[in-house]
Amino acid sequence: MLEKIFSLKKHGTTVQTEIVAGITTFLAMAYIVFVNPNILGTTGMDKGAVIVATCVAAAIGCFIMAFWANWPIGMAPGMGLNAFFAFSVVAGMGWPWQAALGAVFVSGCVFVLLTITGLRRWIVEAIPASLQVAIPAGIGLFLALIALKSSGIVAKSDATFVTLGDLHAPAAILAVLGFFIIASLDFLKIKGAILIGILSITVISMLLGYTSFHGLVAAPPDITPTLLKLDIAAALEKGLFNVVLVFVLVEIFDATGVLTGLAKRANLIGGEKGNAGINRALFADSASILSGSLLGTSSTTAYVESMAGIQSGGRTGLTAFVIGVLFLLSLFFSPLIDTVPPYATAPALVYVAGLMLSELSHIKWTDVTDAAPAALTALAMPFTYSIANGLAFGFISYTTLKLVTGQYKQVHPAAWVIAILFLIRFIWLSGH
């Protein structure tokens, strides 16, 4: 049956290899089960419901990827997208989380439409390479600032805006320890380094009496506090430019880049295979966003941690199916998830941020018309506490510099459209 569904022999793999690959990828990305409820919980969303929404949305995304695209790629609510949801849209703009979920749903509809019509690939091809690599780097800086603040390592200051926090505080000490555990384990190529780091700090915190143990296994929490609580009307009323456009752009860049990179590494596209499979994978990625918004979580996306399973030999959707099953089993460990303190997940965010910053090495720094917009994109996200502003600064500065330096022919039509939309957004905001 598995051979018939996933064409294992055709891809040169076995059931055992695919199962091992699925477990490997799950261990690498399971930290999202701990991190996502902590991030979205800051908006007032019920943490238990978010745990269920996270696991079920991840499982649905993985199952779609498994049976529709037959690719070995794990899906789950995306880092960066959840930060934009919680800290930019809800905390920064003052949106209710229900309206933010509505914006996720609308962006998912737009995303599906762009994928079906082929416009998604057209838009991706229009985005300059410098901005494509600056966006994840900027999101990384944004995540790092949030994590350092939540662990007390960075504190606010009236004189300098931010300053060094109290490094003698238990939260700061344990966060630093967690970072070194994760980095060391990852250097030693130990699978699930991030998850091990989170759990290690949680255990140490409990032993020292800073955290209470809430249990290990229990029935899944109630999802009704977030299920179908999205407010689409409020999202549309509050404005498409502010939120939906950013969700769509980040989803496009993040997911498409990850899917393409992983597919090339797994030899699923290119050469004699062509690029036909990418369309199904893109649709699977798009469709899973809709289910996540209905359940009560931020946008789902393809996870770069899927590389761990691909390195272990995963080549078909059976790997993704195993990942989905393991996410569903995680529902029964909600007491353990509720035990994890913010300073245990903070080092994971900082470490992931560091990995995302590596993208900056791909920028052509010798060309100021590429380098300056990329730098503005990355810097504006943490310093304005908004991923949206970073994207806007990048597109507007890129098109402007290309125009005034006579290189406007290098700019794709879609880039002009995006820049103009962001410019209208700033003009509209200044008038309100």
- pTM over 0.95, yes/no: no
Residue 356 phi/psi, 5-degree rounding, is -70, -30
Angle of helix 193-207 relative to helix 31-40, nearest 10 degrees? 60
Residue 156 forms beta bridges with which residues? 162
**Cα distance between residue 353 and residue 345, in whole Å:** 12
The total of other beta-carbon atoms located within 10 Å of residue 430's CB is 7
| CA-to-CA separations, 17 to 67, 174, 315, in angstroms, rounded | 18, 37, 9
Q: Which pLDDT score is estimated for 270?
A: 54
Q: What is the pLDDT of residue 153?
A: 93
Estimate to the nearest angstrom the gap between the alpha carbon of 109 and the chain centroid: 18
* 187 Cα distance to chain centroid: 23
Mean pLDDT by 10 residues, the chain (432 residues): 82 84 79 87 91 92 89 86 85 88 89 80 73 79 83 89 91 94 90 80 91 81 90 79 74 68 68 60 82 89 77 82 93 78 82 81 89 92 78 90 92 85 71 44
- In whole angstroms, what is the distance from residue 53 CA to residue 37 CA? 9
Write down the pLDDT at residue 19. 86
pLDDT for position 432: 42
Structure token pair of residue 266: 């797994």
Closest to 22 measured CA to CA, from 222, 404, 305, 237:
305
Enter the tokens of residue 348: 């994971």
Q: Report d(CA 211, CA 218) in Å as an integer.
A: 19
Q: Which of 23, 14, 12 is nearest to 324 (CA)?
A: 23
Q: Is 154 helix (H, G, I), strand (E, B) or coil?
A: strand
Residue 77: what are its φ and ψ, rounded to 5°? Answer: -55, 135
Residue among 247, 232, 246, 252 at smallest CA distance from 114: 252
Cβ(259)–Cβ(281) under 8 Å? yes
167 C-beta neighbours (distance < 10 Å), count: 11
The reported pLDDT for the residue numbered 431 is 45
Torsion of CA 327, 283, 307, 314, to 10 degrees: 80
pLDDT at position 260, please?
67
Q: Report H helices in 11-169.
A: 15-29, 31-40, 47-64, 81-83, 97-117, 119-126, 129-150
CB 48: neighbour CB atoms within 10 A? 20
DSSP string, 177-193: HHHHHHHHHHHTT-TTH
pLDDT at 180: 95
Quick one: DSSP state of residue 219?
Answer: P
